[in-house]
Each structure stands twice: as structure tokens, then as C-alpha cells.
Amino acid sequence: MPATTATRDPVHVTLRPVAGRAAAGVDARLRAASVPDADVPPLARLDGVHRRYGSVVALDGVDLALRAGEVLALLGANGAGKSTAVGLLLGMVAPDAGTATLLGQPPRQLAARRAAGVMLQSAAVPDTLRVGEALELTRSYYADPLPVAECVALAGLDSLLRRPYGKLSGGQQRRVQFALAICGRPQVLFLDEPTTGLDIGAREGLWRAIRALVAEGCAVLLTTHYLEEAEALADRVAVLHHGRIVASGSVAEIRARVAQRRIRCVTTLPADSVRAWPGVRSVATEGDALAIVADAAEDVVRRLLQADPALSALEVRRAGLADAFVALTDDGDVASSANPDAGRTSAFAGTDTDTDTDTRTGVPSANAATPSLHRQERT
């Protein structure tokens, strides 16, 4: 069960900790609330899914589960199979074997699609359409949409409602796209590189909004190449490589797969000398500092201090998610051009859809299976 309860007013979402829970900051409370119950059935699921494109295997026995109240980061290099995996969950493609379900139903079912929100890397929102008009149009496809004021507050759209979409900056357009993805009160939210083009303040605001939605029970599937974003938001991480899940677990569990430590210090010791020490994997020169990757930091640090008592600016850190990702996927063929996902800019790119969408404007018709203004452009 979530560790917070949520109350809404017309302007913003307020999260209040339950009795007896010490307040440790809004973000800490929201992340605590997002820990899912493993016994709760997944809202989106792939079971033993296989998908081929001719002779090319895009997915090879993939299992994936996304539960209410969690952020699952699906990571993979271009060509790993992310596009196909997400396309299966959205009903854009069908598996050759195995099953894909959304809210316990086939993803192409109208009820399932209306419970999902999608934010792609690009959206064909008409340039002349005002932000408020786009928001009202998209809200009209849902039986119980979020109030406009709440969408505005969560996406940071203050003062933008009367402005034409085409007159907005790239970062402002991304915030509008986020508002369109959440306005239907989705139970499952698919986010593809959501903070591309945002400045630091806008990015952190969007992260807070995502955490607020998750705290209310929304399930979020995040695809991103910005691994700091995955570390900041994800409850679980799944690493997809050449069509297979090669690692799955919490951020800490994924990082623990890489034992190396990173050491940085300002020293007069030559890099070639340190590189020859036992336990040292690599040494790079960064200005007047050495950046060292070692199996165990303690022995190397001890020797550094003995060899150079004047050593300064010593830093030691554990492997990050980026280090773990590289270690898990580094086989010299990360971005195989043979995979149909390779080279696409979006985790959703290149999948076909049968939704009734006006290809000139991207605006769905009244019979659209997935109410949304979003339509991914092929690259």
C-alpha cells in the first residue's frame, strides 16, 4: 500500500504522509510511496514474448512486469529491442509467441488503451492550436480526465494556455506533451526521453510530477538514455540487450553487478606507473588529476597515499548505473544495425499502428483506439 495519501485541489496535488511516518522531504515521501506490492497483479506485462522481423530476432523470450505505483526504467542501446517491447504493450505490434497484456487485457482493447498515457519524443500537434485548446481536445476523449488546472500545475504550463503550440520553445513543447499524456488520468504511463530539451528547473519539476503520479498509483514505464534520470526516478531497472533481458532489479541491485570503484585524485604519479598496479583496471589523465578504475578501492588508495604523501582532492565512488549498463551490454556490438530497432531516435519509433489518427495533424478521430495527440514520426 502507498505510504502517503493524496488530496487534490483545483491547482495542485498535495501529498500528506500517513500518521507516524517521519517527514523526510517531499521527494523522499513520494519515492517511499512508489514501492509496489509484489503480490499486486501487473498493470502491463510481457510473458515469454518472441518477435521476429524476417530473419532478425527483435525479442527473444522477454518477461516484463509493470505494477501500480512504480517506475520501471527499460534501458538498452539503440537496437536492443525497446521499441518492439513497448510497441507490444501498446498493441502496435503483435508477438509471434508469448503474450502481452495491458490492464489484464489484450493491449488493442479500447478500455486498455484509454487507461494508458503515452509521451513520445515528438508529437504532431498542429502549430496553430493553442495549448489550452490542445489540452481540452485531448481531455474530451476521456470519461474522467484530470482538471485543466491540475494538468497545468503538474506540467508547469502557467501562462502558456493561450499561446500557439508552434510558438513555444522545445522545452515548453515537451511540457505540453507531458500534460497531454497525463490529462486522461492514466493508470499506465509510457514516457520516452521525457526531459529532452528541458532546463534543470523544468526537468526537476517534471520529475516531481512523475513522482506525484506514481504516489497515487500510476505505473510508469520510462525509456531513457539519460541514466541519471533512471537513477533518480526508477524503482526497478530492466536492461534489454539484443532482444533479451540481461539484468533486472533495483538501481542498487544493478549497480552491485559492477564491483569496481572509481578513484580520482590530483597527484604527480605517472599514469603508466599506477596502471601497472595490482587491482587497477584503467587509468586516465584528466588535467592534473588521475581517474582510476579499480577492483577494490582500499588497496589502491593506500598505495596512492604511500607513493605520494602530497596527493590531494581524493575522491572515491562506487559504480553508477551508467557503469553497470556499459558492463552489462559491452560486447562490441551494442548497436547492431541488423536489428529493426537500430538507429531510431525513439524507443517507440518505427512501430506501426492501426489507430484512427489523422496523419496530417496527429489528432485522433472520435473512434481512435488510443486517445492522444501524439504520433511518432519515422526517422
What is the Cα–Cα distance from 194 to 211, expressed in whole angstroms? 13
Task: Give pLDDT, residue 36.
Answer: 53
- Tell me, what's the pLDDT at 352? 35
Residue spans in the chain of domains classed CATH 3.30.70:
261-318
Pair 276, 307: CB distance under 8 Å: no
Amino acid at 182: I
The neighbouring-strand residues paired with 5 are 16
Backbone angles phi, psi at 125, to 5 degrees: -80, 130
Got the DSSP string for 299-341? Answer: HHHHHHHHH-TT-EEEEEEE--HHHHHHHHH-SS-TT-TTSTT
Q: Is 368 exposed, middle or buried (0-12, 13-18, 19+ CB in 10 A)?
A: middle
Return the SS3 of 364. strand
pLDDT in tens, 50-76: 999 999 999 999 999 999 999 999 998
- CA distances (Å), 75 to each of 20, 54, 60, 122, 125, in order? 37, 24, 16, 19, 28
pLDDT of residue 266: 96
Taking each helix axis from N to C end, the angle separating 148-155 and 200-215, rounded to the nearest 10 degrees, works out to 130
**Which residue type does 316 have?**
V
Residue 250, SS3 per DSSP: coil
Residue 358: per-residue pLDDT: 35
**Rounded to whole angstroms, what are the CA distances from 268 to 263, 273, 280, 311, 325?**
15, 11, 17, 8, 32
**Mutual angle of helices 148-155 and 170-182, in 10-degree steps:** 140
- Parts of the chain belonging to CATH 3.40.50.300: 1-258+320-379
Q: Is 168 helix (H, G, I), strand (E, B) or coil?
A: coil
d(CA 74, CA 243): 12
Give 134-178 pLDDT, tens digit per residue.
999 999 999 999 999 999 999 999 999 999 999 999 999 999 999
CB proximity list for 154: less than 8 A, separation 6 or greater: 12, 13, 146, 178, 179, 182, 209, 212, 213
Q: Which CATH number fits domain 1-258+320-379: 3.30.1490.270, 3.20.20.70, 3.40.1280.10, 3.40.50.300?
A: 3.40.50.300
Q: What's the pLDDT at 38?
A: 61
CATH of domain 261-318: 3.30.70
Over residues 6-16, the pLDDT tens digits come to 333 433 333 33
Write down the pLDDT at residue 47. 97
> What are the residue ranges in the chain where pLDDT is below 50?
1-34, 332-379
Which of left, alpha, beta for 168 (phi over 0: left; psi -120 to 50: alpha)? beta
Distance CA 244, CA 98 (A): 14
